[in-house]
Amino acid sequence: MSYYLTHPLYTLGVLYLLVLVFRAVLSWFPVAPRSGLASVNHWLYVLTEPLVGPFRKVIPPVGIFDISYMVACLVVYLLTIEVLARIPAI
């Protein structure tokens, strides 16, 4: 298991999961167009929309909650673990 923690693909997967979580949390708050968070919000959108967008088209919101982020996080996590399980340890 410690092999996974030091592998660059695992690190990229975890970082992308963090970006998804930051975007989900930031979406709960209004962001003024010219504030410092607006640029952060823009970059989070650019990084995550290619993955979250297709899920959002298929999965409707549940009340006020957009569960496409949870599905995207689950997919990233499972892909990261599955890819690492198939790479032999050095």
CB atoms within 10 A of CB 78: 11
CB atoms within 10 A of CB 54: 12
**What pLDDT shows up at residue 78?**
92
pLDDT tens, per residue, the chain with 90 residues: 565 667 888 889 999 999 999 999 998 889 898 888 899 999 999 999 999 999 999 998 888 888 999 999 999 999 988 888 787 765
Rg (CA), the chain: 15
Structure tokens at 87: 């790479």
- 1, amino acid identity: M
Q: Where are the domains of the chain?
A: 2-86
pTM: 0.84
Contact at 8 Å (CB) between 69 and 53? no
**What pLDDT shows up at residue 11?**
87
Helix 68-86 to helix 36-58 angle, to the nearest 10 degrees?
80
